Amino acid sequence: MWQAEYVASRLASFGFESVLVPLVSGGDTDMRPIDGTRQVGVFTKRIQQALVDDEADVAVHSLKDLPTAHDPRFHLAAVPERETVLDTLVTLDGRTLSELPAGAKVGTGSTRRMAQLKALRGDLDIQPIRGNVQTRLSKLRSGEFDAIVLAEAGVVRLEMHDLPRSSLSLVDMLPAPGQGALGIEVRSEDHAAVSAVGRLNDRSASFCVTVERTVLAELHGGCLAPIAAHAITEPTNEGAMRLSITARVMSADGQTCLHETANCKITPSDSLDRAKDLGRQIAEKLKTAGAEALIQASRPA
């Protein structure tokens, strides 16, 4: 709801009034662990169906939940300015990861986080957890978990500033492709919506998430695989941008980590195809290093 209200307010600033259409997705109601036995898009399909049924004209997604497979019915019209990409460790007393005792039970719904946590602290008990932020916090407070890991963007957006937490560095915990970003979809043939929503697009954020999601797509990982990627842009002296990406593919137990970096220059005239080329380049590096075998091994038999 925060995301939808944010997009509505941004549209209103450009003179476009809108009406919120609250929806409940399968990912919101099904509390089983998210793993390879379940289809990707559990949080996005219901919202996309609202576009198909003309129930809504604009779909607001957490971009990291949006499948990378192209669907010609939909157009990703905008990626607004990105929130923090960090993950954060939440405890009752604000302990850092290094301060947790051996055997502490840590909850996360992400195989990417699980793998990186196991690599950092193999002595911890990493367990799956589901539900929204409030549900996960209640499980922490009831003693079911000693700590939980959340996307910091959600904590910031919900203005939970007093929550005892410790940010995990990008060195220790690389984010999911698209983490911290919103993806705003419309029907491909709805040119009025494409034009209106397009005003919310942030060029830097769009290039960054495009290269990250291209890596994910090329590795055929889906949002459930232990794949992490983070891209940034920096201005150059020539008035262009330097687009840089770091990507990881890990074994589920955290014992093996493939790590690659790459960068390219983006000129004002370049399209998102430039970012896609960079994504394909780093994906090929990871494949050569053995990424496909790690991804396949992480999937349930």
Tell me which residues are annotated as active site: 65
d(CA 69, CA 157): 28
Beta strand pairing call for 147-151 and 87-90: antiparallel
CA nearest to 255, candidates 71, 114, 115: 115
Strand ranges (E), the chain: 59-62, 74-78, 87-90, 105-107, 125-127, 147-151, 165-168, 182-187, 227-235, 241-250, 257-266
SS3 state at 118: helix
d(CA 3, CA 17): 16
Within 13 Å and on the Cβ side, how many CA atoms surround 232? 11
CA nearest to 235, candidates 210, 205, 265: 265
d(CA 279, CA 183): 18
